[in-house]
Structure 1
Amino acid sequence: MSMKKKRVSLLLTALVTLSMALSACTGNDNTANTNSSDDPVELIWYTIGTPQKDLNRVLEEINKYTLDKIGATLDVKLIDFGDYTQKMQVMVASGEPMDILFTSSWAFDYVQNSRKGAFLQLDDLLKNQGKGIVDAINPAFMEGSKVDGHNYAIPANKELPAQEVFRFNKELLDKYNLDLSSVKTMADLEPLLKTIKENEPEVTPYAMVKDFMPVMPFDYVIEKMPMAVYMDTSDYKVVNIFETPEMKEALQTVRKFYLAGYISPEVATSTSVDDLYKAGKWFTDRAATQPLADNLWSVSYGYPVISTPASQPYIYNWSVMGSMQAISANSEHPEQAMEFLNLLNTDPVLRNMMDSGIEGVHYEKISSNMIRNLPEAKNYDMATFSLGNIMINYLNEGDPENKWEQFKQFNDSGIPAPLLGFNFDTSKITNEIAAVQNVKEEFWAPLMTGSVDPDQYLDKANEKFKAAGLDTIIAEAQTQLDAWKAANDK
């Protein structure tokens, strides 16, 4: 089986650690052909993912199906992950013909492009051609992805909250009989890290990269920037995270770990610890989880990995907007585009063809809702998370029967973050954002990874952030947030 298809969606360890989560078979078979015209329509769909050798072969089968169901066929154009944003910006600006296009919080920015008029407002289409979508998708996705009160894209029905966990190499846990029951915070890791450091000189006790951030009780106005509100806020006051006692204490803990040798001395410039994972030479790290994540990590690494919660499962703007399909503002066939998206999100036959290819060529069924990949699957390995409702996918061999039930329970457990639904308009403060970004480049990684002493560097960082205009950004964010709070009875 393609490992890519089995890999877990790590929501944002760095926004783009991408999930190839697959799976089961539920949903309604919306069979009516509601195309008002007798002439078949070709829908042009730009979406994200590595171009696939067998795409056209699979599309032949898909198009027979969609022609019968909705009187439309597809021309799917795949653009690789690293190129997607730039290429789409150019094509949308030049008016390239397209009907459907992938957008998200991390690739071809959803909020920004909605406001710029790149996407059609979908409210009426959802009521008419998209009723099945509204019924099929967790309502928090639809509500949380509104921009200025309107839906401009259809979110994929997938894992909804983002929950951080501490992960552990279970072989080392067992070898030293270490107990996880008392591990709730980063500081609680210290005695375990000490044991590993003293007994396993070849092992990095805490595997960490330069974009590490401690789990903090904040919801950030802009991800990985220093403006935030507290998770338990009632007044929605925006703070500079580097002026809070919680951040100072967390940075002091990371500094202590760094000085004790629990973290690699090169951490502030390290972009990957894959070599440690491959060799099993790590003890703990932190990641975002989803149901069955421990199983997927263990399969991926080839040895057992277990985890314990490091945060609550919160629903953020960026987790709701992680994977979406919009209809182009210039589409000549918006009704048919919505009919197709409705079918994709409610019809297991179409969804699984789109995802896994042709039965008997790319996969075989081993039960009514479970499949096994065949060797040809290597020629058709799509980015599952990007293709709509994952909860009507077939199960992969080895998945538990209740996999999608577990996803639904995980989604139901999600706690809305305070800024869910608030979208900061930065158009008045672009210069200040750029200047603060420059200061961030200088101080962020060294501070967050413990590479410098926070007692000395926090004041220097705050001085430079203020000089760059951080207080102006915070004031603008506060003005917008106060208006949003009033309008939404927060």
Structure 2
Amino acid sequence: MKKTWKKWTAAAGAAVMALSLAACGSAGDGNASSKGAEKNADSVKSVAVHIPTAYDLPDAQQVEDAINKITEEKYKIHMDLNFVSTGNWQQQSNLLLTGDEADVIAVFGTPLTTYVKNGQLADLTDYYAGASDAFKKVWSEDALQGTSVKGKIYAIPNMRNFGNYFGLDIDEDIAAEFGIEDGQRLTMEEVDQFLRAAHEKYPDRYALAPQGGDCLIGQWSWDGLGDNKMVGVLPECGQTTEVQNLFDTDDFREFCNWSRSWYQDGLIMQDILSNTQSWQTMINNGQAIACLDNYGVNSLKGMIRTVILDKWAVANSYAELCYAINMNSKDKDAAWKTMEILYTDSDVSTLLNDGIEGTHYVKNEDGTISFPEGKTASDCGYGMADTYWITPYSANSLPLDVNGPDFFTDLTKFNEETLKSKAFGFSFDTTDVADQYTACCNVMDKYYKALMSGTVDPETTIAQADAEFEAAGLNDIITEKQKQLDEFLAQK
């Protein structure tokens, strides 16, 4: 259910009171205390689970109740589900990890290494070593390298695509007119030819909608090494180990030259840096033709997806969204037991990911599900099925019709076959260059989106940005990043 901060505060107050009562009772009769402990061992334990959501979930309480009918009897665990909108997640999750209101919590928006450095997450290494066989079949130790820091496991990956294809999503009717098929591989030259021809035929539509609202696309063929600001990267899809200034790489300059030509020739909206519309909306309502996008194996209604860069995964791909246990959790054993349930119990997973059958979805003969007739993820009351990539382990649930019956099998295969950055599992620690990093982030914020979206001249702007980077201490950051990466690679 969507808990309020008022309730969380009250819960914290109740915890303080409980601790006070426990302290008062500690001097009492030893037999009474023993009996109380024995009774408590058999009682249902409440575990607070915090999950991001892209939709309002007015029926979340119904789903929670259905889950707890299973978990209370089968596992003696009561799950207190808390859903927080993705827009508020970073701020609220950071606050939650300063107290004990959260037990199991998603790591999303803030780097895993930041929380580990701050001592806010429990070490799960021993828990994993003693985990059930069913759990260990979900993620191997090799996979958990991606959510480990200095050899210790601090989180468990969730189920989603860990790498991405980078390609062009196109209105399916227009793609058919130009003979472009789903999954077709295109060079940038072929993309350029299509965009210009399509824009000429449909001059009232932008050839390219911005993927990120105010940016043509957030990333391309460079790995920021756990640093979303890209202050020092590995280009070439992470297939080099030399940390470089992004703005000086051939990858970045080539992309910016393409985007600049598209912007100057009107293929991209001129006010892109102030745009607030989603690219899906712009294509669906006839404002745009296509969008550069990164994606996994899921499909989109009304669009086809092409491939420009084959699937590859950045260094911190597993850690970008994962689930951990709050260091301040009052019962880490119960929290870990809950983690195992979320990753292994298919009945619980189906409820958490899809909701209640007949209310939030209907089953199809091919093994997929659909939202009830006339309903969508946004208005069915519980639309989590549309965001399978958020929950802990969606592979034990039922896939949406748009993704097909073999979706989770395909997703598993996709992850196994994805090219990984040579720095896979590494994440940069900014502690020793904190001031320089802050200064360089400010420079990046000033120029990155403008360059990626083609609104400024690459040659002169990059020269100006590089001068500001040098003054801000970029060389110190690259040196430190390279040092940490070399140490990481030497330990592998």
Normalising by structure 2, report the TM-score.
0.82
Question: Could you tell which deviates more after superposition, 347-356 or 251-260?
Answer: 251-260
Structure 2 partner of 1:325: 323
Mean alpha-carbon deviation: is it higher for 212-221 or for 117-126?
Answer: 212-221
Partners in 1 of 2:235 and 2:290 — Cα distance? 27
Q: In structure 2, the residue corresponding to 1:379 is in which secondary structure? A: coil
What amino acid is the match of 2:198?
I
Contact 1:131 1:342 in 2 (8 A): no
Alpha carbons of structure 1 residues 226 and 325: separation in structure 2 relative to 1, 3 Å: closer
> Would the alpha carbon gap of residues 372 and 182 (structure 1) be closer, same or farther in structure 2, given more than 3 Å must change?
closer
Corresponding position of 1:345: 343
Match of 2:415 in 1: 411
State whether structure 2 residue 286 is matched by structure 1 residue 288: no
1:219 alignment partner, SS class: coil
Q: 2:455 is paired with a residue of what secondary structure?
A: coil
Partner of 2:472: 468
Which residue does 2:267 correspond to in 1? 262
Aligned to 1:314: 312
CA distance in 1, matches of 2:451, 2:366: 53
Task: Quote the Cα distance in structure 2 between the aligned partners of 1:362 and 1:249.
Answer: 46
Q: How does 1:373-388 map to 2 (within 5 A)?
A: 373-374=371-372, 378-382=380-384, 383-388=387-392
Partner SS, residue 395 of structure 1: coil
Partner of 1:12: none
Q: Alpha-carbon deviation of 1:381?
A: 2.8
CA–CA distance in structure 2, aligned partners of residues 246 and 60 of structure 1: 51
Q: Between the two proteins, what is the percent identity of the paired residues?
A: 21
Structure 1: gaps (5+ residues): 1-34, 299-303
> CA 1:352–1:311 in structure 2 vs 1: closer, same or farther (change >3 Å)?
same
Change (3 A) 1:348 1:252: same
- Which amino acid is the alignment partner of residue 195 of structure 2? L
Instruction: Please say if 1:75 is aligned against 2:80.
Output: yes
2:282/2:288 contact within 8 Å kept: yes
The aligned counterpart of 2:199 is 197
C-alpha distance in structure 2 between counterparts of 1:233 and 1:204, whole Å: 32
1:277 aligns with 2:275: no
By how many angstroms is 1:401 displaced?
2.9
SS in 2 for 1:287: strand
- For 2:156 and 2:181, how far apart are their aligned partners in 1? 43
What residue in structure 2 maps to residue 114 of structure 1?
116
Residue 448 of structure 1 is matched in structure 2 by: 452
Q: Please tell me the residue identity of whatever aligns with 1:449.
A: S
Q: Quote how far apart the aligned CAs of 1:393 are.
A: 0.6
Q: What is the distance in 1 between the residues matched to 2:86 and 2:450?
A: 28
Instruction: Name the CA distance, whole Å, in 2 between partners of 1:315 and 1:183.
Output: 19
Corresponding pairs, count: 443
Q: Which stretch of structure 1 is more off in the superposition, 327-336 or 173-182?
A: 173-182
Using a 3 Å threshold, how does the CA distance of structure 1 residues 357 and 259 change in structure 2: closer, same or farther? closer
Paired residues of 1:215 and 1:310 also in contact (CA < 8 A):
no
SS of the residue aligned with 1:385? coil
- Residue aligning to 2:160: 158
Q: Deviations over 1:54-108 (max 9, x none)?
A: 3233322222211222112122222222222222322322x2333211212x2x4
**Aligned match of 1:421:** 425
Match of 2:151 in 1: 149
- Greater relative CO (CA pairs within 8 A, separation 6+): 1
Q: How many Å separate the matches in 1 of 2:247 and 2:286? A: 35
Mapped partners of 2:255, 2:369: distance in 1: 45
| TM-aligned CA distance change 1:77 to 1:398, over 3 Å | closer
Q: How does 1:17-416 map onto structure 2 within 5 Å?
A: 37-49=41-53, 50=55, 52-93=57-98, 95-104=99-108, 106=109, 108-137=110-139, 141-177=143-179, 184-208=186-210, 209-213=213-217, 216-221=220-225, 222-231=227-236, 236-274=241-279, 275-293=281-299, 297-298=300-301, 304-366=302-364, 369-374=367-372, 378-382=380-384, 383-397=387-401, 400-416=404-420
- One-letter amino acid of the structure 2 residue matched with residue 305 of structure 1: M
Partner Cα distance (1:454, 1:66) in 2: 57
Range that drifts further, 115-124 or 350-359: 350-359
Does structure 2 conserve the Cα–Cα contact (< 8 Å) formed by 1:314 and 1:416? yes
- For residue 420 of structure 1, report the CA deviation from its aligned partner: 1.2
Q: Check conservation: 1:178, 1:192, Cα contact below 8 A.
A: no
Cα deviation digits, residues 425-463 of structure 1 (max 9, x gap) = 101222112211222232222222222222222211111
- Structure 2 residue runs of 5 or longer lacking an equivalent are 1-38
**C-alpha separation between the residues in 2 aligned to 1:97 and 1:214?**
34
Alpha-carbon distance change, 386 to 281 in structure 1, aligned in 2, over 3 angstroms? closer
Residue aligning to 2:24:
none
In structure 2, how many angstroms separate the alpha carbons of the residues matched to 1:472 and 1:269? 33
Alpha-carbon deviation of 1:214? 8.2
- 1:136-168 CA-partner distances (Å, limit 9, x unpaired): 236654221112211111211222222211122
Cα RMSD over matched residues? 2.8
Displacement, 1:127?
Answer: 2.0
CA change 1:97–1:216 in 2 (3 A) is closer
Quote how far apart the aligned CAs of 1:272 are: 3.1
Q: Distance in 2 between matches of 1:47 and 1:333?
A: 19
Q: Given that residues 183 and 189 in structure 1 are in contact (C-alpha distance below 8 angstroms), is that contact kept between their aligned partners in structure 2?
A: no
Where 2:41 maps in the other structure, the secondary structure is coil
Query: Which is further off, 223-232 or 345-354?
Result: 223-232
Shift of 1:251: 2.0
Q: Equivalents in 1 of 2:369, 2:239: separation in Å?
A: 48
Offset at residue 473 of structure 1 (A): 0.9
Change (3 A) 1:442 1:98: closer
Three-state SS of the structure 2 residue aligned to 1:285 is strand
On the 8 A contact 2:167/2:305 being kept in 1, the answer is: yes
| Matches of 2:192 and 2:346, distance apart in 1 | 48
Which whole-Å CA distance do the structure 1 matches of 2:481 and 2:134 have between them? Answer: 36
The one-letter code sitting in structure 1 at the alignment partner of 2:201 is N
* Letter of the structure 1 residue corresponding to residue 253 of structure 2: K
Alpha carbons of 1:468 and 1:281: their partners in 2 closer, same or farther (altered >3 Å)? same
- Alpha carbons 2:214, 2:273 under 8 Å: kept: yes
Distance 1:438 1:322, change over 3 A: closer
